[in-house]
Amino acid sequence: MTATQSTAEAFEREPVEVTERITADGSSRWPVEAGRYRLIVARACPWANRTVIVRRLLGLEPVLSMGIAGPLHDERSWRFHLDPDNRDPVLGIEFLGEAYRAADPDYDAGITVPAMVEIASGRVVTNDYAQLTLDFSSQWAAFHRDGAPDLYPQAHRAEIDEINEQVFRDVNNGVYKAGFAKGQSAYERAYTELFDRLDALSDRLATRRYLVGDTITEADIRLWVTLVRFDAAYHGHFKCNRHKLSEMPVLWAYARDLFQTAGFGDTIDFEQIKQHYYGVHAEINPTGIVPAGPDLTNWLSPHGREELGGRPFGDGTPPGPPPVGEAVPPVG
């Protein structure tokens, strides 16, 4: 199908507003330092999920604590409604917006996860989700665990960056462009671009286990966080319904392969994902009813991707189990 996208009808993602970096090389006012910062995420959010996975794979848990906002929020921002007294136990705040306003009392832009908060001052340092995981790989290298994989190998960075840009535009953000479109033409354009890109990615992954090289990289992480939410949220809630993920054989096997890899499936809480999308977006789902399905046990079924070879962690090793307090409910 063809469609002409109207700017008035199209969803446009707001840019992040707090883009300072935490660096080890003295290039910013925020130095990498063990125990200084707290990573604030939400299990529901794909952008935050990227940081949770990279933090796990690189073994940064001992030096970078993690606060988890609940799946529900309102105009006051993400809130810590799953914690005792509805407050983050380290920062002592009820709403993430409090940390943004600690950095800027007049802050009125998007209050988003992931966010890095300096614990002592309680202020947000950065919410630059696109840069955060790259900095975990580079700037935080001194704190990587023994056996940490190279998720952003120098030799493949140009290829990873190119794929990341395509995946962001058409898939990561594409499902939102379809779901929040205000007109038929904008929706149909986003829908077409999404599935055209998924078809191209399926072709690429039909003969190779991972997107770039023979190991898991940043590119796989960025694609996977959208795929894992596809059937639970985007297929129905965002009208991305040409096919379910489970009806796209290559991408479904690829997604299950990673789900069953340490550091991926053990970061996913499907109930919180559904509670967020169906419970917060009142303009799309005014009843707030959260669907009972889909069946999740098939995420543990054999995928057969080992036949394509590849070394998931390269010369590294899998991460250990999640820290106490960070485990998610098992599937099945």
Q: What is the pLDDT of residue 31?
A: 97
Same domain, 133 and 208: no
The domain boundary, picked from 143, 173, 208, lies at 143
Domain count within the chain: 2
Tell me, yes or no, if 45 is annotated catalytic: yes
Evaluate whether residue 59 is within a structural domain.
Answer: yes
5 SS3 class: coil
Q: What is the pLDDT of residue 288?
A: 95
Catalytic residue among 37, 100, 129, 176: 176
Q: What is the pLDDT of residue 8?
A: 62
DSSP output for 110-172? ---SSEEEETTTTEEEE--HHHHHHHHHHTTGGGPPTT---SS-GGGHHHHHHHHHHHIIIII
Mean pLDDT of the chain: 95
Residue 314 φ/ψ region, left for φ over 0, alpha for ψ in the -120 to 50 degree band, beta for the rest: left
Range of the domain at 74: 22-143
Residue 79 is classified by DSSP as: B
Evaluate whether residue 47 is within a structural domain.
Answer: yes
Q: What is the pLDDT of residue 10?
A: 84
* pLDDT range class, residue 9, cuts 50, 70, 90: confident
Say if residues 127 and 120 touch (Cβ distance below 8 Å).
Answer: no
Catalytic residue among 45, 100, 234, 240: 45
Q: What is the pLDDT of residue 21?
A: 96
Q: What is the pLDDT of residue 2?
A: 23
Q: What is the pLDDT of residue 212?
A: 98
Same domain, 180 and 73: no
Question: What are the b/e assignments for 293-310, b being 16+ CB within 10 Å?
Answer: ebeeeebeeebebeebeb
Distance separating alpha carbons of residues 220 and 38, to the nearest angstrom = 25
* pLDDT range class, residue 6, cuts 50, 70, 90: very low
Q: What is the pLDDT of residues 35-86, one digit of tens each?
A: 999 999 999 999 999 999 999 999 999 999 999 999 998 888 999 999 999 9
Q: What is the pLDDT of residue 1?
A: 22
Tell me, yes or no, if 176 is annotated catalytic: yes
Task: Give the whole-number percent of the chain exceeding pLDDT 70.
Answer: 97
Q: What is the pLDDT of residue 12?
A: 80
Whether 252 has a binding-site annotation, put simply, is no
Q: What is the pLDDT of residues 121-172, one digit of tens each?
A: 999 999 999 999 999 999 999 999 999 999 999 999 999 999 999 999 999 9
Q: What is the pLDDT of residue 3?
A: 29
Q: What is the pLDDT of residues 102-135, one digit of tens each?
A: 999 999 888 999 999 999 999 999 999 999 999 9
What does the pLDDT average to over 200-219? 98
The residue type at 3: A
Q: What is the pLDDT of residue 327?
A: 95
- Residue 175 belongs to a domain with what CATH number? 1.20.1050.10
Say if residues 220 and 210 touch (Cβ distance below 8 Å).
Answer: yes
Same domain, 235 and 273: yes
Q: What is the pLDDT of residue 184?
A: 97
Same domain, 200 and 239: yes
* pLDDT range class, residue 4, cuts 50, 70, 90: very low
Same domain, 244 and 302: yes
Q: What is the pLDDT of residue 17?
A: 82
Task: Give the whole-number percent of the chain exceeding pLDDT 90.
Answer: 90
Q: What is the pLDDT of residue 73?
A: 87
Q: What is the pLDDT of residue 11?
A: 79
Q: What is the pLDDT of residue 244?
A: 98
What does the pLDDT average to over 233-256? 98
Q: What is the pLDDT of residues 210-235, one digit of tens each?
A: 999 999 999 999 999 999 999 999 99
| Residue 323: other Cβ atoms inside 10 A | 12
Same domain, 159 and 50: no
Same domain, 118 and 210: no
- Residue 139 belongs to a domain with what CATH number? 3.40.30.10
Question: What are the b/e assignments for 265-282, b being 16+ CB within 10 Å?
Answer: bbbbbbebbbbbbbbbbe
